[in-house]
Amino acid sequence: MTGKAVAGSRDRWIRALLAGPGAIVVTIIMMAGMALWLPGGRAGIDNLVLPLVLAPLIWAVLFFHACLDRRIGRVTLVALALLLIHGGLLAHKFLDRPSATEMAGR
């Protein structure tokens, strides 16, 4: 195999991973992270319902972007940025616990 054939095969595998399991993982993390920055609405549940309703659209956008974009680096960058931003929001939310001295002072 030549160098171009190996690189093309590697790019196809990366693209398949980004379009398949990568798109699903990013969609799930985005759904969880969107609940933190979306407003609650009148009933207080809009921030929970909207990500669930938008999940198929988010997945489809990530899937088709991974399949149709010519530059695999751009696909990776977009997916990684979305994953890191929403993953960081989740980490901040669930790791932001009061310290033991703050709890004892209450």
**Per-residue pLDDT tens over the stretch 13-64:** 999 999 999 999 999 999 999 988 888 888 888 888 889 999 999 999 999 9
User: What confidence category does residue 100 fall into, taking pLDDT thresholds of 50, 70 and 90?
Assistant: low
Sequence spans of domains, the chain: 3-100
Whether 78 and 63 have beta carbons less than 8 Å apart is answered as no
CB-count exposure of residue 77 (10 Å: 0-12, 13-18, 19+): exposed
pTM summary value: 0.81
